[in-house]
Amino acid sequence: MDRSVHAVRAAPGSEPAVWFGEASRDPVEENDGRPSESLYRLIGSRWVVAVLRELDGDVVRYNTLHRRLGGISHKMLTQTLRRLERAEMVHRHAHATMPPNVEYLLTPVGAELIANLAVLERWADANGLPY
């Protein structure tokens, strides 16, 4: 019997590949110069853009971020921050203190995404589209 550990792939178009309950750590793939669906799943998540906006131009501690967002569970915030960290949009810095002090800040990639989202919002506003 084969007892090797392996990733489980879902059917195309459904959920992304998982590794013990975590999203795949594969980078965003390109298809004929177009971003893959994983990019849209990432930025289309309910909390991703809200977290990125809260981190824009600031270093924020985990509990401060949780308070600012209001309505997000600790589990969802942790999952969202991990996804953003894997996508290299957020940097996590854990201080060796008791209790642990963890801070988050945007990477240049995350800051660039926020700038591009602002352009998209201005375009939507100019064209009378909801955002």
What pTM was computed for the model? 0.69
Give the containing element (helix H, strand E) for 92. strand 90-95
pLDDT in tens, 96-127: 999 889 999 999 999 999 999 999 999 999 99
Quick one: pLDDT at residue 35? 61
Q: Is the peptide bond before 99 cis (omega within 30 degrees of 0)?
A: yes
Is beta strand 60-61 parallel, antiparallel or unpaired with respect to 90-95?
unpaired
Class of domain 46-126: mainly alpha
Closest CA to 28 of 20, 18, 19, 40: 40
pLDDT in tens, 75-88: 999 999 999 999 99
Domain boundaries, the chain: 1-44, 46-126
